[in-house]
Amino acid sequence: MEQPDYSYESAAQRCGYLRIAGVDEVGRGPLAGPVTAAAVILNPDNIPIGLNDSKKLSAKKREAIEQEIFDTGEVAIAHASVEEIDEINILRASHLAMERAVAMLDPAPDYLLIDGNLIPRGLELPSEAVIKGDGKSVSIAAASIVAKLCRDRLMVDLAQQCPGYGWEKNAGYPSKQHKDALAVLGVTQHHRRSFKPIHNILYQDQTTGI
Protein backbone atom coordinates (compact mmCIF):
# COMPACT_ATOMS: atom_id res chain seq x y z
CA MET A 1 0.00 0.00 0.00
CA GLU A 2 1.38 3.40 -0.98
CA GLN A 3 2.17 5.62 1.98
CA PRO A 4 3.00 9.31 2.32
CA ASP A 5 6.67 10.25 2.33
CA TYR A 6 8.91 13.29 2.69
CA SER A 7 9.33 13.99 -1.03
CA TYR A 8 7.14 17.13 -1.11
CA GLU A 9 8.96 18.51 1.90
CA SER A 10 12.35 17.65 0.40
CA ALA A 11 11.47 19.47 -2.82
CA ALA A 12 10.57 22.58 -0.82
CA GLN A 13 13.81 22.31 1.16
CA ARG A 14 15.80 22.23 -2.08
CA CYS A 15 14.18 25.57 -2.92
CA GLY A 16 15.47 27.02 0.35
CA TYR A 17 12.43 26.63 2.60
CA LEU A 18 13.09 25.40 6.14
CA ARG A 19 9.81 25.56 8.08
CA ILE A 20 7.39 23.50 6.01
CA ALA A 21 3.90 22.97 7.41
CA GLY A 22 1.35 20.40 6.33
CA VAL A 23 -2.23 21.65 6.55
CA ASP A 24 -5.45 19.64 6.49
CA GLU A 25 -9.04 19.92 7.65
CA VAL A 26 -11.70 17.51 8.77
CA GLY A 27 -15.45 17.84 9.08
CA ARG A 28 -16.79 19.18 5.79
CA GLY A 29 -19.43 16.46 5.49
CA PRO A 30 -21.08 16.28 8.93
CA LEU A 31 -24.49 17.75 9.62
CA ALA A 32 -23.35 18.99 13.03
CA GLY A 33 -20.33 20.50 14.68
CA PRO A 34 -17.49 22.74 13.54
CA VAL A 35 -14.92 22.15 10.85
CA THR A 36 -11.44 21.61 12.28
CA ALA A 37 -8.02 22.22 10.76
CA ALA A 38 -4.48 21.48 11.84
CA ALA A 39 -1.11 22.77 10.72
CA VAL A 40 1.94 20.64 11.54
CA ILE A 41 5.66 21.21 11.09
CA LEU A 42 7.50 17.91 11.48
CA ASN A 43 11.08 17.52 12.63
CA PRO A 44 12.80 16.09 9.53
CA ASP A 45 15.20 14.17 11.80
CA ASN A 46 12.43 12.58 13.84
CA ILE A 47 9.40 11.77 11.70
CA PRO A 48 6.89 9.45 13.41
CA ILE A 49 6.83 5.98 11.86
CA GLY A 50 3.56 4.85 10.31
CA LEU A 51 2.19 8.24 9.29
CA ASN A 52 -0.66 7.82 6.83
CA ASP A 53 -4.04 9.22 5.87
CA SER A 54 -5.98 9.26 9.16
CA LYS A 55 -8.86 7.35 7.53
CA LYS A 56 -6.54 4.41 6.83
CA LEU A 57 -5.36 4.03 10.43
CA SER A 58 -7.00 2.26 13.36
CA ALA A 59 -8.10 4.42 16.28
CA LYS A 60 -5.34 2.98 18.46
CA LYS A 61 -2.67 3.66 15.84
CA ARG A 62 -3.95 7.21 15.26
CA GLU A 63 -3.69 8.02 18.95
CA ALA A 64 -0.19 6.57 19.28
CA ILE A 65 1.05 8.53 16.27
CA GLU A 66 -0.74 11.68 17.45
CA GLN A 67 1.29 11.62 20.66
CA GLU A 68 4.50 11.29 18.65
CA ILE A 69 3.48 14.22 16.46
CA PHE A 70 2.96 16.44 19.51
CA ASP A 71 6.19 15.21 21.11
CA THR A 72 8.42 15.78 18.10
CA GLY A 73 6.74 18.41 15.91
CA GLU A 74 5.00 21.78 16.07
CA VAL A 75 1.21 21.64 16.04
CA ALA A 76 -1.60 24.19 15.78
CA ILE A 77 -5.33 23.41 15.70
CA ALA A 78 -8.22 25.74 14.88
CA HIS A 79 -11.92 25.60 14.10
CA ALA A 80 -14.64 27.39 12.18
CA SER A 81 -17.94 27.34 14.00
CA VAL A 82 -21.35 26.13 12.88
CA GLU A 83 -22.43 29.77 12.69
CA GLU A 84 -19.51 30.60 10.41
CA ILE A 85 -20.23 27.56 8.23
CA ASP A 86 -23.82 28.73 7.80
CA GLU A 87 -22.78 32.31 7.13
CA ILE A 88 -19.96 31.87 4.62
CA ASN A 89 -20.44 28.24 3.37
CA ILE A 90 -18.53 25.09 4.27
CA LEU A 91 -15.69 25.50 1.76
CA ARG A 92 -14.85 29.01 2.91
CA ALA A 93 -15.23 27.96 6.55
CA SER A 94 -12.82 25.06 6.08
CA HIS A 95 -10.34 27.47 4.53
CA LEU A 96 -10.86 29.88 7.43
CA ALA A 97 -10.03 27.11 9.90
CA MET A 98 -6.86 26.35 7.91
CA GLU A 99 -5.87 30.02 7.91
CA ARG A 100 -6.36 30.20 11.67
CA ALA A 101 -4.29 27.09 12.29
CA VAL A 102 -1.40 28.38 10.18
CA ALA A 103 -1.52 31.76 11.94
CA MET A 104 -1.12 30.02 15.31
CA LEU A 105 2.28 28.51 14.43
CA ASP A 106 5.02 30.61 16.02
CA PRO A 107 7.53 31.11 14.52
CA ALA A 108 5.56 31.13 11.30
CA PRO A 109 6.17 28.53 8.60
CA ASP A 110 7.78 29.66 5.36
CA TYR A 111 6.09 27.09 3.09
CA LEU A 112 2.74 25.31 3.18
CA LEU A 113 1.63 21.94 1.84
CA ILE A 114 -2.16 22.05 1.75
CA ASP A 115 -4.45 19.08 1.28
CA GLY A 116 -6.84 19.49 -1.64
CA ASN A 117 -6.87 21.38 -4.92
CA LEU A 118 -7.32 24.92 -3.60
CA ILE A 119 -5.11 27.25 -1.60
CA PRO A 120 -7.13 29.33 0.90
CA ARG A 121 -7.09 32.92 -0.26
CA GLY A 122 -6.15 34.18 3.20
CA LEU A 123 -2.83 32.33 3.13
CA GLU A 124 -0.16 34.59 1.68
CA LEU A 125 2.80 32.29 2.30
CA PRO A 126 4.33 30.26 -0.53
CA SER A 127 2.02 27.27 -0.79
CA GLU A 128 1.34 24.10 -2.74
CA ALA A 129 -2.02 22.36 -2.99
CA VAL A 130 -1.68 18.58 -2.99
CA ILE A 131 -4.71 16.55 -4.08
CA LYS A 132 -5.21 13.65 -1.65
CA GLY A 133 -2.21 15.05 0.13
CA ASP A 134 -2.83 13.11 3.34
CA GLY A 135 -1.80 10.02 1.40
CA LYS A 136 1.25 11.66 -0.20
CA SER A 137 2.92 14.04 2.27
CA VAL A 138 3.87 13.04 5.81
CA SER A 139 3.29 16.60 7.02
CA ILE A 140 -0.24 16.66 5.63
CA ALA A 141 -0.85 13.16 6.99
CA ALA A 142 0.20 14.39 10.44
CA ALA A 143 -2.18 17.34 10.19
CA SER A 144 -4.96 14.96 9.10
CA ILE A 145 -4.48 12.77 12.17
CA VAL A 146 -4.34 15.67 14.61
CA ALA A 147 -7.39 17.41 13.14
CA LYS A 148 -9.49 14.24 13.10
CA LEU A 149 -8.75 13.24 16.68
CA CYS A 150 -9.33 16.76 17.96
CA ARG A 151 -12.69 17.02 16.22
CA ASP A 152 -13.74 13.50 17.25
CA ARG A 153 -13.12 14.38 20.91
CA LEU A 154 -15.02 17.63 20.54
CA MET A 155 -18.00 15.74 19.13
CA VAL A 156 -17.89 13.32 22.08
CA ASP A 157 -18.21 16.36 24.36
CA LEU A 158 -21.12 17.73 22.31
CA ALA A 159 -22.78 14.30 22.43
CA GLN A 160 -22.93 14.61 26.21
CA GLN A 161 -24.72 17.95 25.83
CA CYS A 162 -27.10 16.60 23.19
CA PRO A 163 -27.56 12.85 23.73
CA GLY A 164 -29.36 10.62 21.27
CA TYR A 165 -27.72 11.65 18.00
CA GLY A 166 -24.75 9.31 18.35
CA TRP A 167 -22.15 12.00 17.78
CA GLU A 168 -19.70 10.11 20.00
CA LYS A 169 -19.65 7.47 17.25
CA ASN A 170 -20.62 9.26 14.01
CA ALA A 171 -18.88 12.60 14.75
CA GLY A 172 -21.89 14.43 13.33
CA TYR A 173 -21.89 12.64 9.98
CA PRO A 174 -25.31 11.60 8.62
CA SER A 175 -25.43 8.04 9.97
CA LYS A 176 -28.75 6.23 10.33
CA GLN A 177 -28.81 6.90 14.07
CA HIS A 178 -28.17 10.58 13.49
CA LYS A 179 -30.89 10.92 10.85
CA ASP A 180 -33.38 8.93 12.91
CA ALA A 181 -32.67 11.14 15.93
CA LEU A 182 -33.21 14.27 13.86
CA ALA A 183 -36.67 13.01 12.93
CA VAL A 184 -37.54 12.39 16.59
CA LEU A 185 -35.53 14.93 18.58
CA GLY A 186 -35.25 17.71 16.04
CA VAL A 187 -32.47 20.16 15.24
CA THR A 188 -29.98 21.39 17.86
CA GLN A 189 -27.88 24.54 18.07
CA HIS A 190 -24.93 22.46 16.86
CA HIS A 191 -26.54 21.52 13.54
CA ARG A 192 -25.60 23.24 10.29
CA ARG A 193 -28.71 25.01 9.09
CA SER A 194 -27.25 25.68 5.65
CA PHE A 195 -26.97 21.94 4.97
CA LYS A 196 -29.89 20.62 2.97
CA PRO A 197 -31.09 17.84 5.34
CA ILE A 198 -31.20 20.29 8.26
CA HIS A 199 -32.68 23.09 6.18
CA ASN A 200 -35.40 20.74 4.94
CA ILE A 201 -36.35 19.70 8.47
CA LEU A 202 -36.59 23.31 9.61
CA TYR A 203 -38.52 24.34 6.50
CA GLN A 204 -40.96 21.45 6.84
CA ASP A 205 -41.49 22.30 10.50
CA GLN A 206 -42.31 25.88 9.58
CA THR A 207 -44.71 24.97 6.80
CA THR A 208 -46.41 22.38 8.99
CA GLY A 209 -47.08 25.04 11.57
CA ILE A 210 -48.79 27.40 9.11
Bridge-based pairing state of the strands 35-41 and 127-130: unpaired
Task: Dump pLDDT digits (tens) for 54-76.
Answer: 778 888 888 999 999 999 999 99
* pTM for the whole structure: 0.93
Over the stretch 32-45, which tens digit does the pLDDT of each residue have? 999 999 999 999 99
| pLDDT tens, position by position, 128-163 | 999 999 999 999 999 999 999 999 999 999 999 999
Phi, psi of 114 (to 5 degrees): -115, 130
Q: Which residues are annotated as a binding site for a divalent metal cation?
A: 24-25, 115
169-210 pLDDT per residue, tens: 999 999 999 999 999 999 999 999 999 999 999 987 554 444
Instruction: Tell me the binding residues.
Output: 24-25, 115
Query: What is the pLDDT at residue 204?
Result: 76
CATH of domain 7-155: 3.30.420.10
Three-class secondary structure assignment of the chain: CCCCECHHHHHHHHCCCCCEEEEEEECCCCCECCEEEEEEECCCCCCCCCCCCHHHCCHHHHHHHHHHHHHHCEEEEEEECHHHHHHHCHHHHHHHHHHHHHHHCCCCCCEEEEECCCCCCCCCCCEEEECCHHHCEHHHHHHHHHHHHHHHHHHHHHHHHCCCCCHHHHCCCCCHHHHHHHHHHCCCCCECCCCHHHHHHHHHHHHHCC
Give residue 52's pLDDT band: very low, low, confident or very high (50, 70, 90).
Answer: confident
Please tell me the predicted confidence (pLDDT) of residue 210: 40
